[in-house]
Amino acid sequence: MEHSYVRLCTLRRGFFEEATGADCEWEAEPAGGQTAPGNCTNMIEVLCLLLGRILLLLIGGYELIWRFRERLNALVVRWSYDYWLSPTARDLHERRVLADCRSQLTKTPQHLVLVISPMDTGVDAVLLRRIFNYALDVGIKHVSLFDRRSKDKGYVDLADLCENQGSSFKWPKPPTPNSPSKVENSPKNGQKTNGYVNGANGSHSTQLQLYQISAADGHALIADVCRELYEKRETPMVQNLLQQKREALTEQITEMLDKRLGFVAPEPELGIIFARQTCTYGLLPWHVRFTEFHTHPSGRHFDVETFANILSKYSRCEQRWGT
């Protein structure tokens, strides 16, 4: 009986040390077959550790299966879409889908913003060029890109992307020492946008105006404007704003933010976020007050049907204003 008890204690001690990775001292069980309170506590700790590890394994397995499913779906769709169809057939298919979508829309956004999360690896220059063409075909006039990735993680520079795109995409030229600043190139009466003329009357449907937003264009600009207003708090201009309604101060701050931003664009009505969760990552807070965001999970294939589906959802959405 004594040998069996020693063997049982040894097994329990080895099981606990293997589960926790720590050396522990065990107390002898009292006579009469009763379990000491300390031993019960140790067993509960072992069970909790085991349950925690099982939960971590389940979460890791779910993440692995989810990523594998998304990659497999993207591979199958891309293979059937890009390789089985010729470029001409694919172009005709996209135009037909976009034409059907445009005929069913009750409203079309004038400004589309694309937000790419820092961890996304599926959005590249090829996909962005396709999205720009989709937007141009349905009548969207402005597209902004907010790429939070670093250059070694897939960051896309619109200046390089639009260099060989002809006149379909409008993008500002690199500044020269004798060229005016971006603020001086700001639109006047709707005639100019980012230094490029929008046509004779300032409106057109054959060109797409592109903007690139950086991480420094968000909260950092708001901090600079607030700091400047605080430093000028004793001036007549700021004192006059404080005596007026709140809307006057808001308009002044918005105007100062637009000047520092370097371009003036309408507030985006629609945004597409390429991420696992819905997050704007600090995107121009004063610009997205009424923007409707749609999240496209990272790793999932994005094609013309996806774009048309997002536009259809936006068209069915109705914003209600309280009184």
Q: Is residue 175 part of a domain?
A: yes
Could you give the CA distance from residue 145 to residue 152 in angstroms, rounded to a whole number? 18
In this structure, are 209 and 100 located in the same domain?
Answer: yes
- Residue-by-residue pLDDT tens, the chain, 323 positions: 445 444 445 545 554 455 445 555 545 555 555 555 667 788 888 888 889 889 888 888 887 786 676 666 655 555 555 556 677 877 888 899 999 999 999 999 999 999 999 988 889 998 999 999 999 999 999 999 999 999 888 899 888 887 766 556 776 544 444 444 444 444 333 333 333 333 333 344 578 899 999 888 878 888 888 888 888 888 888 888 888 877 787 788 888 888 888 777 888 999 999 998 899 998 988 888 889 999 998 878 898 999 999 999 999 988 776 65
Looking at the fold, whether 24 and 120 belong to one and the same domain comes out as no
Does one domain contain both 297 and 159? yes
Asked if residue 118 lies in contact with residue 153, where contact means CB atoms within 8 angstroms, the answer is yes
The pTM (predicted TM-score) of the whole model is 0.65
Does 189 fall in a domain?
yes
Tally of domains in the chain: 2
Evaluate whether residue 71 is within a structural domain. no
- Three-class secondary structure assignment of 108-159: CCCEEEEEECCCCCCCCHHHHHHHHHHHHHHCCCEEEEEECCCHHHCCCCHH
What are the Cα distances from residue 62, in Å, to 59, 66, 72?
A: 5, 6, 15
Same domain, 155 and 225: yes
Residue 71's closest CA among 300, 321, 308? 300
Q: Are residues 42 and 191 in the same domain?
A: no
- Domain of 6 in residue numbering reads as 2-64
For residue 79, is it within any domain? no
